[in-house]
Structure 1
Amino acid sequence: PFFPAPSRFGFISSPCHRNGRRDTMSNEQKKSPLTDPAVLVSSLKVGALSACAGLTYGGASGILRATKHPIIHSISHGIHWAAWGTSFWWMRNNIISIHYQDNATPKDRVYASAVSGGLSGGIVTRLMGGKFTPGLVLFSLFGYVGQKTWNFVERRQQENEGKGPKPILQRMAESKWVPLRSLSDDEFRNLLNEKLLSIEVDISLLDEKIQSLERERALEQSQKAPESSQS
């Protein structure tokens, strides 16, 4: 077996031990969310999508406000939104990875999105020449509402997972805007039983009516018989 050689200041670590420490440190650096390439790439993608939204919003608002340079106005909003989207997504992923250890609940993700949106929005707005507080409030609302909406959509997808698409007639019947209702087998059976009972009641009433008419007719005939004999 290989033992570490003694030196003047202690034992000299073996090459295998040094390589193991180096591999461990490199793995820790690779796993760090602050420098994770996947997080950086996803942040850049979100920034690109935000830039497209900012360009569209900036161009539309520039035309509606009749600014002198609508193209510059659109580019400015595109840069602003790109910086916010990139920093927001990077900060949000780091909060979820570091603070929640990648085990955040939907409620935790809402908090992380609101905090990340507010901080990144306030800082980017201040760097672009605006005020910090309005950017903080506005982009906090963006992050909060966006994460709430995403959680709702994700929950609906999980509820509908494994279920096939419903026929269009069934979807129309289940809609609250259509004056129709979809019945189950038990409900349909109960409805038929109620209809049968109502029909039986109507039949019994008709039988009673017929019997009463027959009695009246027999009474009239019995009254007419003496009159005919006297004549």
Structure 2
Amino acid sequence: MVDIQTQQSTADGTSLPSIVKVGALSALGGLTYGGVSGILRASPHPVIHSISHSIHWAAFGSSFWWLRTNILHMHFQDNATPKQRAYTSAIAGGISGGVVTRVMGGKLIPGAVVFSMVGFLGQSSYNAIERWRQENEGRPSKSILQRMADSRWIPLRSLSDEEFRNILNEKLLAIEAEISILDEKIQELERERVSQSSNSRTSQSS
């Protein structure tokens, strides 16, 4: 049963619709990038610039996905670790990126190095996100403010209702103590005023 599921998963990954889907998404990204970069660089032919990048990215995406999927299937039997997947993506990216760049008129080595790094960093980022998702799976979701309060990088702390009540009680006690001190000072000033008034009357009568 497991072998059947593995074969089916591999067939789905290497099937023509899957490769075409990845190629189409890559072409859309290349078209967007080519259009933006063509405008920023003030290219005399922005449309041709966009189409060129779209073809380049589509060829890279399709060949990269096909090569990566076959390496994972034939070498790791679709049971690779996250680190092995990152290395496989780097190899597939380097080979497909170098060849496609050379066919498009660029240099082989720079293309292989750049796309190898893209494959490795992309797969590593996906692995990190997937690991974070698995670690937090089943935990109750928290709001953004709650996550900020729980972060050790932000000098804020989330308080429970009991802690909040205790802090309020401490503040109230401090305010009551200050009011008591002020009352004593007022009474002392009143006594001094009465004493001075009495002394003033005594001096006037004498």
Aligned length, in residue pairs: 193
1:223, 1:62 → 2: CA distance?
95
Alignment of 1:58-207 (within 5 A): 58-61=34-37, 64-67=42-45, 70-71=47-48, 73-155=49-131, 157-158=133-134, 159=136, 163-164=140-141, 166=143, 170=145, 183-207=159-183
Q: Which residue of 2 aligns with 1:54?
A: 30
Instruction: Give TM-score scaled by structure 2 length.
Output: 0.68
2:50, 2:187 → 1: CA distance? 90
**Normalising by structure 1, what TM-score?**
0.62
Q: Is there any run of 5+ residues in structure 2 with no aligned partner, and where?
A: none
1:170-219: CA deviations, max 9, x gaps? 57986x9xxx9864324423431331232022123113213422442454
Point out the structure with the larger helix share.
Answer: 2
| 1:17-56 correspondence runs (5 A) | 31=7, 36-41=10-15, 42-56=18-32
Quote the Cα distance in structure 1 between the aligned partners of 2:165 and 2:37: 60
Q: Deviations over 1:75-106 (max 9, x none)?
A: 44333222211121122223333444434444
How far apart, CA to CA, are the structure 2 residues paired with 1:224 and 1:76? Answer: 103
Q: Which has the larger radius of gyration?
A: 1
Deviation per residue, 1:20-40 (Å, 9 max, x gap):
xxxxxxx89x9398xx43122
Of stretches 187-196 and 85-94 in structure 1, the one that deviates more from structure 2 is 187-196
CA RMSD between the two structures: 3.9
Percent identity over paired residues: 55
SS of 2:176's equivalent in the other structure is: helix
Displacement of 1:221 after TM fit?
A: 6.1
- Report which stretch shifted further, 135-144 or 75-84: 75-84
Unpaired stretches in structure 1, ≥5 consecutive residues = 1-26
